[in-house]
Structure formats: C-alpha cells, structure tokens
C-alpha cells in the first residue's frame, strides 16, 4: 500500500466517502445488469434491452447543462438528496410484472443517468474540500478501484438474485444501498463555502466552458483523454470479434476476458496516485496510451495468451487516463466551477467513445478486426507522443500536474 493510499484511508471523511462509494457501487452494478436482463425477459427484444444503456449514459451528452446544477447548491446536501431521491424512486419498479409496464424501467434508468451526471459533478467539487491536492490522485484511484471491484462481484450477485427470485429483490437491494449511502454521507464533516449568487443559466454554462477553453494545458489533457476513449470504444466494439473470429471461443468467453480487464483496472486505480506524483499528468497519460497501444496490438493476435495479456494492459491503461483528467480538473479549476467543468469534461471524453463503438461495429462489416485493432494500436502510439506535447499554464489555480 502506497504512502498516499495510506493517508487517504487515514482521513476520516475520505474513508467514509469511500465506504459510500463501495455501498452505492454494489447496488448500482447489480441493478444496471438486471435492468437489461429484465427488459429482455419481459419483451423478448434485445434492442429494447440495449436501450437501457442509452438511458443510463445518454444524459452525459447534455452533461454541461446538468452540471450547472451541481454548482448552484452545497455539494454534500445535494449528494444526500440525490441518493435519497433514487432510494425513493426505485421502488416504482416493484410495479413491473408484465411487458405492459416495462416503460417504468426506462423511466427509472433515465433518472439513474441524470443522477449519475449530478453525483459525479458534485463529488468532483466536494472531494477537494476533503483532501489536499497531493492526495486527489490517490483518492480518485481508490474510488476507481472500488467501482471496478464492484463490477466484478455485484453483477454476479444481481444475476443470481434475478434468476432465483426475479427483479424485485434487486430493486430493494439497490434502493437500500442508496439509502445507506445517504446515511454515510450525513456523517461527513466538510466545510463548504456557500454557492455564489445565481446568474443566468447561459452565463453559468459559459463560465465553465470559458475556464476550460482558456486553460491550454487542461484542454490538451481533455483532448488526449477523448482520443483514448475513442480507442477504448473501438476495442469494446471488437470484443466479440476477438473472441469469435480470433480465439474461436463462444461469446460467453468475453465474461472471462472482462474479469481479466477488471483486474487490470484494479491495478491501474491503485497505481494512479503514485504515478501522478512521480510523473505528472502528461507523462501518465502517455504511459496509459502506450499500454493501450501494446494491449490493442496484442489483442489482434489470434491466440489466448497474447489476447489475455493485451486485455490486462488495456485494463490498466483505461482507468489511468480517466483518473488523470479527473484529478487535473479538480486541481486546476476554482471550486465554484468544478461541477459544470467536470460535467463538460465527461461529455467531451465519453461522447466520442460512445460514437467510436458504433463506428467500430460498422467497420467490422467491411474490414478484418485485426486490421482495425492494429490501426487503433498505431493511433495509441501517436497519442502517447501527443500527450507529451501539452504545456503548463501558470495561474492561481494551476500546478505542474498538466
């Protein structure tokens, strides 16, 4: 365990917040899987089941508008209210028993997506009030590690509950985790400055965009992250082709590779804080890009060992690039703007990745998956070089992290 990790865990409020992340993450990971399975079982439609993902991640595309709300309220009370609201909303799904009521699942999952954007924005602004700058990377790494760990465990628990008893027990489990998370958040002892006086919505949105646009080093880092997410999206689109055409294994084998990638994400999350202190944001982003390049190239080889090793490398690199940009936003942005800036950054980074999944799936019809994977690997090498070219802005909210 690194020095930074030890200090984060030794901080009472940071430790409590990580407990909240653990509890909420377990319920969320279980519910997101079960929601899609539930729709598929009730309707028989794979397309409708796939729309659950759109409901959850679609609000990210209007993240800057939603993020403004996170800067209009004190963040700790906002987080408590959001978790209690989801705990109260989820029991509506207890009414779902036939295909005629499946629309309730879509409504609740859309609310899930909006709450995700608000929770992420409020959290990004709250954490700097809990921890000093030099520990933000360690906290973000631990948060990512916990979330990835829950993705390895909770979906299995959720699927097991659904198989045995249907969707209602999973709904109650998720509602309970939201309520328990709200209770943990009430135990935080954080001094927050009152939000500034309300301005016009457009002005507040413009302030966040202006900060990002005027900060060359941060904007460069966001661009690098967006490019990395495009490559990760392409990798995701080719996952079944790697297993089917490459390894000649059944689709279920992706579950095993997903576990391997999850293990890599745990490693990347734990290493992020130390790497950021020693290398700085630009170099860590370059390292992450090199890991992606090696991983994508290895996954183009139609053999189990290279594919497994490449999947592990992608698993390590993906969280590194995200933790780096999240930490830079927290360090380089005034507290009153963090909510809307972080939401804007999420839109700029995750939006291109979503489009890349569609593009990768379309290219598979025309091009062998190995060619696409190798081109993506070459793109990751170029990205590593581009990541090192970012400059450093000097200013009241600037450090050498970029």
| End-to-end Cα separation, the chain, in angstroms | 25
Is 8 within a domain? yes
Instruction: Please tell me the distance from the alpha carbon of residue 108 to that of residue 66, in angstroms, as a whole number.
Output: 17
| CATH assignment at residue 373 | 1.20.1250.20
Q: Report the C-alpha gap between 328 and 331 in whole angstroms.
A: 5
Residues 21 and 55 in one domain: yes
Query: Which pLDDT tens digit goes with each residue over 15-58?
Result: 888 888 889 888 888 898 888 889 888 988 766 776 787 788 77
- Tell me: do 111 and 211 sit in the same domain: no
> Which of 168, 188, 208 delimits the end of a domain?
188
My answer on whether 272 and 124 are in the same domain is no
Whether residue 160 sits in one domain with residue 234: no
* Same-domain status, 204 and 346: yes
| Greater pLDDT, 200 or 153 | 153
Kindly tell me if the per-residue pLDDT of 119 is higher than 80.
yes
In a domain, 194, yes or no: no
How large is the average pLDDT for residues 163-181?
92
Say what the pLDDT of residue 2 is.
63
pLDDT for 60 equals: 80
pTM of the entire structure?
Answer: 0.77
* Degrees to nearest 5, angle at CA 51 with 266 and 205: 75
Residue 13 or residue 371, greater confidence: 371
3-state percent breakdown (helix, strand, coil) of the chain, nearest 5: 85, 0, 15
Question: Does residue 65 surpass a pLDDT of 80?
Answer: no
Contact between residue 321 and residue 228 where contact means Cβ atoms under 8 Å apart = yes
Say if 109 falls within a structural domain.
Answer: yes
Beta strands in 101-202 (DSSP E): none
Asked which of 188, 220, 250 is the last residue of a domain, the reply is 188
Q: Where is the domain boundary, 131, 166, 188? A: 188
Question: Does residue 398 belong to any structural domain of this protein?
Answer: no
Residue with tokens 């999206």: 233
Residues 110 and 228 in one domain: no
Q: How do residues 251-310 score in pLDDT, each as one tens digit?
A: 667 767 878 888 898 899 888 888 998 999 999 999 999 999 999 999 999 999 999 999
Count of positions (residues) in the chain: 402
One domain, residues 169 and 251 = no
Higher pLDDT, 179 or 237: 179
| Whether 222 and 167 share a structural domain | no
Structure token pair of residue 19: 């407990």
Higher pLDDT, 329 or 89: 89
Residue 371: predicted pLDDT: 94
What is the chain's mean pLDDT, rounded? 84
CA-to-CA distance for 231 and 249, rounded, in angstroms?
24
Three-point CA angle 18, 295, 289, nearest 5°:
70
Whether residue 288 sits in one domain with residue 335: yes
Whether 103 and 215 share a structural domain = no
**What is the distance between the alpha carbons of residues 28 and 24, in angstroms, rounded to a whole number?**
6
Measured CA to CA in angstroms, residue 74 lies from 58, 92, 193, 342 at distances of: 25, 28, 8, 16
Give CA separation, 387 vs 2, 393, 397, in Å: 26, 15, 21
**Domain span including residue 71:** 1-188
Residue 300's nearest CA partner among 227, 397, 380 is 380
Same domain? For 262 and 328 the reply is yes
The string of pLDDT tens digits covering residues 91-100 is 999 999 889 9
CA proximity to 280, closest of 140, 131, 402:
402
pLDDT at residue number 25 = 86
Burial of 198 (0-12, 13-18, 19+ CB in 10 A): exposed
CA distance 35 to 41: 10
When divided into structural domains, the chain yields a total of 2
**231 shares its domain with 164:** no
Pair of tokens at residue 196? 């500034």
Instruction: State both tokens at 91.
Output: 């029991």
User: Looking at residue 373, what is its pLDDT?
Assistant: 94
């Amino acid at each position: 365990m690194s020095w930074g990790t030890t200090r984060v865990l030794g901080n009472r409020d940071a430790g409590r917040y990580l407990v909240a992340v653990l509890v909420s993450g377990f319920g969320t990971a279980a519910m997101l899987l079960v929601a899609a399975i539930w729709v598929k079982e009730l309707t028989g439609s794979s397309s409708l089941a796939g729309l659950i993902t759109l409901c959850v991640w679609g609000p990210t595309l209007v993240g800057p508008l939603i993020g403004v709300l996170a800067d209009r309220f004190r963040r700790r009370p906002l987080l408590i209210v959001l978790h209690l609201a989801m705990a109260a909303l989820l029991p509506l799904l207890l009414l779902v028993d036939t295909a005629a009521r499946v629309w309730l699942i879509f409504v609740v999952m859309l609310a899930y997506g909006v709450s995700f954007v608000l929770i992420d924005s409020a959290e990004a602004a709250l954490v700097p009030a809990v921890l000093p700058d030099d520990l933000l990377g360690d906290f973000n790494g631990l948060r990512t590690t916990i979330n990835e760990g829950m993705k390895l465990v909770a979906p299995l628990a959720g699927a097991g509950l659904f198989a045995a008893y249907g969707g209602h027990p999973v709904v109650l489990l998720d509602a309970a985790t939201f309520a328990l998370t709200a209770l943990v958040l009430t135990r935080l002892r954080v001094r927050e400055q009152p939000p500034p006086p309300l301005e016009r919505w457009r002005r507040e949105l413009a302030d966040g965009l202006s900060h990002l646009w005027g900060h060359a080093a941060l904007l460069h880092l966001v661009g690098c992250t967006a490019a990395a997410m495009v490559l990760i999206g392409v990798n995701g689109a080719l996952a079944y082709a790697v297993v089917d055409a490459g390894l000649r294994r059944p689709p279920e084998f992706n579950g095993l590779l997903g576990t391997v990638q999850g293990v890599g994400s745990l490693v990347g999350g734990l290493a992020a804080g130390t790497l950021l202190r020693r290398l700085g944001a630009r170099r860590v982003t370059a390292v992450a890009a090199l890991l992606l390049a090696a991983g994508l190239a290895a996954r183009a080889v139609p053999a189990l060992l290279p594919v497994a090793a490449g999947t592990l490398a992608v698993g390590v690199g993906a969280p590194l690039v995200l933790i780096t940009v999240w930490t830079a936003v927290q360090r380089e942005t005034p507290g009153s703007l963090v909510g809307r800036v972080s939401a804007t950054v999420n839109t700029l980074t995750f939006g291109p990745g979503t489009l890349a999944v569609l593009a990768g799936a379309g290219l598979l019809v025309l091009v062998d998956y190995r060619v696409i994977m190798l081109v993506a690997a070459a793109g990751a090498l170029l990205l590593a070089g581009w990541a090192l070219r970012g400059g450093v802005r000097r200013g009241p909210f600037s450090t050498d992290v970029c």
